[in-house]
Chain A
C-alpha cells in the first residue's frame, strides 16, 4: 500500500526540485533587482538547449555539460540584464524603480528568446538521451537514475547557493544589495556588479533545471511557458522572494501534482498546482514562508 505513495512522491519531489530551481531564480531576481522576471522560463529553455547541444555536438559527459550549460546561460543572463533590463530599472536613479516597462520588457524578452531558439534549434521536440544507467532498486521500487540525478544535483546547487550567500563576502554583498542598495554602495560594494552576479546566478539555476529535466522530458522551444507558470506558483506558495520558500513551494507543487495525477486523474495534472496555489493564498496570502527580509538564505 505504502509503495503506491512512495513512487509518486519521489517523482513529485524530483520534478518539484526542478520547479524549485526555477523559482529560486525568480525569487533571487525579485529580491535582488525588484524585477518580476517573466522571461525566466525561456532562460530555462535556453539552458536545456545549450546543454543538449554541448552533450550531442561536443559529446561532453553529463556533468561537464551541466556545468558548462550553467556557466554559459548565466553569462547570457548577465548580458540580457545589462543590455536590456538595466536601462529600464535605473530610471529612478537606482535599481528599485522597475515599473510596467520592465514587466512588458520581460514578456517581450520571452517571445524574443523563443524565436531565437526556434531559429537555432527548430520547432521539433528533441530528445536528450543521457545514459544514466539502470534504475536503483529500493525494495519493490525501481527508481530511474534521472530522478536521483535531479534530486542530488538540485540539493548540491541549493546548498552551494546557501553557503555562498551565508558564508562568503560576495554572498553577504549580494544580500546587502538586495536589502538596501544605498547602504550597500556606502559600504563600498560595487552594486552594479552584484546585480549582474545575482541575475547571472538566477539564470544559471534556471539552466541547471533545464539540463536536469532534459532526460525526462523532451527539449523544445515552448518548454519555458509551462515551467514559468509552475515556478511562479511555487514561488508564491513558498512566499514570494523567500529562497527556502521557493524550494519548499517547488517541492510542494511537484508532489501535489504528482499525487493528483496518480490518484485522481492525469488529465488535470496542471490543475492541482493551482488548486494548491489558491488554497495557500486563501489561508496564508504571504505564502508559507512569507518574508519581510529579502534574500534570507
Chain B
C-alpha cells in the first residue's frame, strides 16, 4: 500500500451485524491521513454497516477500530465525533423542521466556542455557496442535491480530521453528482481525510487514490484506484462494459 502518512483509521477483523444477522465477517481496512479512500460493493455487502460500526451507531461484535491511535470501537457516537471522526449517512436526512443554518449549527454541537462555530459555518458556505442563500429556509423544502450539501456541511461543522460519506451520489442527477464530487475533492485537498462508500464505482475511483471492494462482509479486492479501475474483476462486477477514459471524466 502506498502509505502517505500515519494510518488515520485502522479497522481489523471487524465482525458485526444487526440482531442475530451477521453482516461483517472480518473486514480489514485502513485509511491513511490525507487520503481519499473508496469503499465499493453491491447492495447488502456490508458497506454501510462498516461505516456505522466506525461511527459508533452499531457496536461491533469483534475486531478492532482504531482512529488516530485510539481504540474507538466501544465509544459512543458523540464521543467519536468529538475525537474527530464524522459520518454522513446515506439518505440525505436533515432535521426538516429547522432552517438550513440550524441544521448546520447542530453539526458543530461539540464546538462550544461561538466564534469557532461561525468560522466553521463560513467555511461550509464557502464550499456550498447555495446554502448561504438558503440559510434561513427550512431544510424540508430543499432539493435532493441541496439536502446532500446540508448533510455533508453538517458533517464538516465540527471540523473533524476525517469524514466518512455514505453514498454521496445516491439518487442525484449526474450534474449534481459532479458538483458534489468536485467539492469532496476540494475538501480533501484542504486537508480532510475521506472514506467514501459508493455505488457509483467509476466516479469514486476517479476521485479516490485507493479503493476497497467489499463482498459478503469481507474485503474482497483492494488496491490503488488506477489498478482497480483496470482490474478485470472490478470491471466485470461493477463497472460493466468498457472503462471510460479517466482524464475525460474529471
Contact = CB atoms under 8 A, between A and B. Distances in A.
B196 to A, nearest CB: 16
The 7 closest A-B pairs by CB, nearest first: A188-B81, A185-B77, A188-B110, A293-B97, A188-B109, A296-B97, A187-B106
Contacts of A93: 18, 58
Contact of A183 (B89, B102, B105, B108): B89
A187 B96 contact: no
Contacts of A190: 76, 78
Given A172-B105, A188-B109, A189-B78, A179 B89 contact: no
B82 interface: yes
Contact of B106 (A172, A191, A296): A172
A175 B95 contact: yes
10 contacts: A173-B109, A175-B98, A185-B77, A186-B57, A187-B81, A188-B81, A188-B107, A188-B109, A189-B109, A191-B77
B31 interface: no
Contact of B89 (A186, A293, A294, A296): A186
A293 B140 CA distance: 10
B102 A172 contact: yes
B32 interface: no
Given A172-B98, A175-B98, A187 B89 contact: no
B87 interface: yes
How would you classify the secondary structure of chain A's contact residues: helix, strand, loop or mixed?
helix
Given A169-B109, A188-B110, A176 B86 contact: no
Contacts of B96: 179, 293
A4 to B, nearest CB: 42
Contacts of A179: 95-97
Contacts of B97: 175, 179, 293-296
A247 B98 CA distance: 21
Interface in A143-180: 169, 172-173, 175-176, 179-180
A113 to B, nearest CB: 31
Nearest to A293: B97
A179 B155 CA distance: 17
B78 A188 contact: yes
Nearest to B164: A186
A172 B55 CA distance: 22
A191 B57 CA distance: 12
Given A187-B106, A293-B96, A182 B78 contact: no
A184 B110 CA distance: 11
Nearest to B57: A182
Contacts of B78: 185, 188-191
A97 to B, nearest CB: 12
Contacts of B158: 187-188
Contact of B109 (A187, A293, A294, A296): A187
B89 A182 contact: yes
Contacts of B76: 185, 190
A182 B76 CA distance: 11
- Among A180, A187, A294, the most chain B Cβ lie within 10 Å of the Cβ of A187
B93 A187 contact: no
B60 interface: no
Most buried by A among B96, B154, B158: B96
A191 B79 CA distance: 11
Interface string B140-171: 10000000000000110010000000000000
